Every structure is written in C-alpha cells, then in structure tokens.
Structure 1
Amino acid sequence: MSQDYNQFVLNVKRLTGIDLSFYKEAQMKRRLTSLYEKKGFDDFHSFFKQLEKNPEMLAEFLDRMTINVSEFYRNAKRWEVLEKRILPDLTHNKKRLKVWSAACSTGEEPYTLAMILSSFYPLSQIEILATDLDENVIEKAKIGLYVERALQEVPASIKEKYFTKQGMFYKVNDQIQKTVTFKKHNLLANPFEQNFDLIVCRNVLIYFTEEAKNLLYQKFSDSLQPGGVFFVGSTEQIFNPQLYGFENADTFFYRKK
C-alpha cells in the first residue's frame, strides 16, 4: 500500500469511522483516484484536506465509496427461491419474522422483501430493518421514488398492486413503505442486532477483503436465531459455511444450525 494512500486510509477512519483497509485495495484506490482527479487534485493528501472542510465533497466521496447499484427483484430467480422454498419453512407457526436488509442501498431490496412477505402476512405484521452506511441513499430510499428501469424484474401483478406511476417515476405505496425502518449502520464497526429470522445482504461482500468477509460471516451468523437464514448475492457463495455455523439451505441461502 503506498504511503499516500495508507495515510489517507488512517485519516478517513479518524474522520468518518469507516475503515477502507477492509475493502479490496486495487478497486477502491482506482475508484477514489478517478474521483480526486476529476475534482482537480493530484494526490490523496490534498484530496483529504478538502474532504475535511467541504461537507458536500465528503458526501460525494462517501457516495462513491459505497456501491449503489440496485433494482427490485434483482436476480429474480433467487427471489423466487426465497418465496417458494425458504419462506414457507421460516414462516411456519410464526406470527411475524424479524428481518434485516443489510447494506440496503436505495431501498429496492427491503421493499422487494416486503412485497414478497405480503404473500405470507398482512402488511401490518411485517417489520423490516434496512440499514446502509450512506445517509444519502437512505434518504432516497425513504422517498420511495424509482425510475422505470429499476422495476424491470417486478411481476406485473406486484407492480400494479404496490406502485403508482408519477410522471417518469414509480412510487412505492405507503403501506409497503411503512413496513421498513431505515437506519444508518456500518457493518464493520457497529454492533449487530440479534435474533433475526432472515438476513439479506447481497452484492456487497464481494467488495471486501477475505479477512473482512470472514468477520462479517461470523457476525451475521451470531445475529441469526437457530434456523434463521442468511441470503447472499449471486457472486458471493460461502465455500465453507460450516465454519460460521451455517448449512446450505439452497444456492446462496445459508441456514444457521
């Protein structure tokens, strides 16, 4: 790690509490170098000096650092597995589930969860915790307004039932929005709530180092109830699930023993 970037990592941790050393260095460095060059800086040192005194640039830096690519029912076949194979077992004899959408980005994932759970419970009984590191995306998620492209995988019946067209956008209806509580949360630094029945964390762990992944798998396992399920993204298979107290429930689904 170059001295300039190394110092930048330490400074960012001091300023924001975010530890960049847990992210894959080459990817993060490339992303941040292109950002500071675009802003007219020559190195990480001068860029950080500006981040300290410019809240708007700091917000943009945090936005660039967190990866916000999302859509409803992303990788639709996986959501079908959740609905048809995983949830019937999880919901059996349970009045409600404790559910967490971790690193939820702009809200498509937790709202998708609410829509799927509505086949099993009345909306008044659905409560989903949705967290992200980036306050900007949380604010967007709370508004619940999306471009049409984000809805391309949504089944027609769900689109009709839970969305209203507003000009060029689609708005998630109030009943779905009320099921989700958004909070800021740093996966690597903050404690996890306990006793979840279902945790969804998809297309995020791919950006972390192996050391950080191992730490997070264990933290996720510890925060699930026995029999609870951890659902990961389609590039994030856990190759030794037993190390973390998991067993395979289906491809990309892990059940806590």
Structure 2
Amino acid sequence: MELNFEFFNDWVQRKLGIRLEAYKERQMQRRISNIMESAGASSLEQYAKILEADSVARHDFVEHLTINVTEFYRNKSIFEMFEQRLMSQIVPQFERPKIWSAACSIGAEPYTLAMILAKNNVASGRIVATDIDDEILKKAKDGLYQSNEVKNVVASDLDRYFSKNAAGMYQVSPALKNKITFKKHDLLKDRYEDNCHVVVCRNVTIYFKPDARDEVYRKLSESLVQGGILFTGATETISLADQIGLKKIDSFIYQKV
C-alpha cells in the first residue's frame, strides 16, 4: 500500500498543529500506518476525514503519536543521582527553585519531583509540568495510578503520599498535587518556560530527527538560569552541549554555564 505521507503531514500540521516532519520518519510512518488501519481507513486521505469528523479518533491519534510510557522514579538509580545533584547544588543556591517537567506524560515524573521536595523539606520549590496531550494532562491532574506505575516508590512513601482505593489504585495526596501547575505545551512549536533552575525532559527527543532534537535542547538550555541543570533520559546524549551553553556534570545531567 502506497501512502501519501506528504499530504498527511501537511494536513496534521494545519488541522492539529503537530509537526510530524520533526519526528524520525520511518518510526513515525510505521506508527501512523498502524493506527490508521486500526481505525478502519485504507488511505491517509480517508483517515484524515475520520480524524476531522471524530473527536475520539483524534484523541486516539494524538495519544498514539506521543508515546506515554512512564513510571515513578523511572530509571531509579539515575533518578537518585539527579536527586543528589538537586539537593546539593540547586536547593542551596536558589531560594525558590523552579522546576519544569517537560513532556510530563501522565504525571508520574512531576509527582516524583514533588515527593523529592517534600521529603527534603523544600517547601519553596515550584513545579511546572507540561504535555501536548489534553487527555494525558487530565490523567496527570487526577493523579490516580496502577500498582505497576508506582512500583519504584518505597512503602513508606506510598503510605505517606498516596491513598489506596477499593480498586487497588493509588491516589496522589493533595499535598503533592498542590506543588504542581499543569499546562498544555508542544515542545516543537510553543514558547518555552523561562527562569528555570531545573528542567527535566526525559525520553522524548529520541523520537525526533537530529535538527528538531538539537533545536529542543537549545531552547531548553535557554530556559535555564546560569547554574541550573537539565536532566535527560537514560538513552539521550546532547552532542552539541558546549555550543548551547551546557556542560555535562554527570550521566544524563547537564549544567547551564
């Protein structure tokens, strides 16, 4: 089957405001083909008509496009290393640290950050959490999680910061929720947060083409104040760090210089 991706890329940008050309081509085309077929469309033109007419189909498309795989303390040993840097370098240096969790998905990451601040008695910390997907942001705000999503949270913290409902799901406490402001944001087109002391952007740029990835990192660097840190994913490396004002200070952690 020959698919008109040029037409579809243009349609998605005009109608949905999503820049598909920034994503790795083969990977993105494979994902689109799969969800198109599952929607019962035999061509991208037909699939575009389905998306235009059906809000549920549009939601499913965006959710499928933006890979929402996450958990609390994802890559726990790396997250613990980040926590050490946060507490030893950022909190002593900045009176009211601003932390931006970019592409936060279902909220496990910003709630992890909120737990870290609470456990270390950092009452002044502010967390902004953003994602492109409205439905995912709603789930993040609800703060309700399956047991596998909180598997890295120690039992004492589960007792302190969560309540367990009758269905066996874990509800984030209001104390953690109150530390976070959730916003919709597209890393490929929207204005970035500014005056950040910490930016956490993990396991996102691996899906982007090199030019788009480099542009995202440049903008993330510009979001940081001098001395602030950027925490990336376990498979992500910033090859042009020195050219955009960043210095690698640990595995997957960069500092604004």
Taking structure 1 as the reference length, the TM-score comes to 0.96
Aligned mates of 2:236, 2:39 — CA distance in 1: 33
Deviation at 1:14, TM superposition (A): 0.3
Unpaired runs of 5+ residues, structure 2, are none
Structure 2 partner of 1:233: 233
Structure 2 partner of 1:36: 36
Aligned mates of 2:65, 2:201 — CA distance in 1: 17
Aligned mates of 1:141, 1:3 — CA distance in 2: 35
Tell me the alpha carbon deviations over residues 15-38 of structure 1, each in whole angstroms, 9 at most, x when there is no partner: 011100001111111111111111
Contact 1:91 1:120 in 2 (8 A): no
Alignment of 1:106-145 (within 5 A): 106-123=106-123, 125-145=124-144
Structure 2 partner of 1:173: 173
Alignment of 1:1-257 (within 5 A): 4-123=4-123, 125-167=124-166, 168-257=168-257
Aligned mates of 1:198, 1:117 — CA distance in 2: 13
Secondary structure class of the residue paired with 2:84: helix
Deviation at 1:3, TM superposition (A): 6.8
Secondary structure class of the residue paired with 2:215: helix
Taking structure 2 as the reference length, the TM-score comes to 0.96
Q: CA RMSD in A?
A: 1.3
Deviation at 1:119, TM superposition (A): 3.2
Aligned mates of 1:206, 1:242 — CA distance in 2: 20
Tell me the alpha carbon deviations over residues 130-158 of structure 1, each in whole angstroms, 9 at most, x when there is no partner: 00000010000111000000011112222
Deviation at 1:127, TM superposition (A): 1.7
Secondary structure class of the residue paired with 2:31: helix
Contact 1:146 1:171 in 2 (8 A): yes
The 10-residue stretch of structure 1 (36-45 or 169-178) with the greater mean CA deviation from structure 2? 36-45
Aligned mates of 1:86, 1:114 — CA distance in 2: 12
Unpaired runs of 5+ residues, structure 1, are none
After superposing on structure 2, the runs of 4+ consecutive aligned residues of structure 1 that deviate more than 6 Å are: none
1:128 partner amino acid: I
Tell me the alpha carbon deviations over residues 39-92 of structure 1, each in whole angstroms, 9 at most, x when there is no partner: 111111110011111111111111111100110000001111112234311111
Contact 2:105 2:136 in 1 (8 A): yes
How many residues are matched?
A: 255
The 10-residue stretch of structure 1 (240-249 or 9-18) with the greater mean CA deviation from structure 2? 240-249
Aligned mates of 1:230, 1:155 — CA distance in 2: 25
Contact 1:73 1:79 in 2 (8 A): yes
Secondary structure class of the residue paired with 1:34: helix
Identity of aligned residues (%): 40
Deviation at 1:175, TM superposition (A): 0.4
Aligned mates of 1:117, 1:93 — CA distance in 2: 15
Contact 2:247 2:255 in 1 (8 A): yes
Contact 2:198 2:224 in 1 (8 A): yes
The 10-residue stretch of structure 1 (103-112 or 39-48) with the greater mean CA deviation from structure 2? 39-48
Aligned mates of 1:208, 1:76 — CA distance in 2: 24
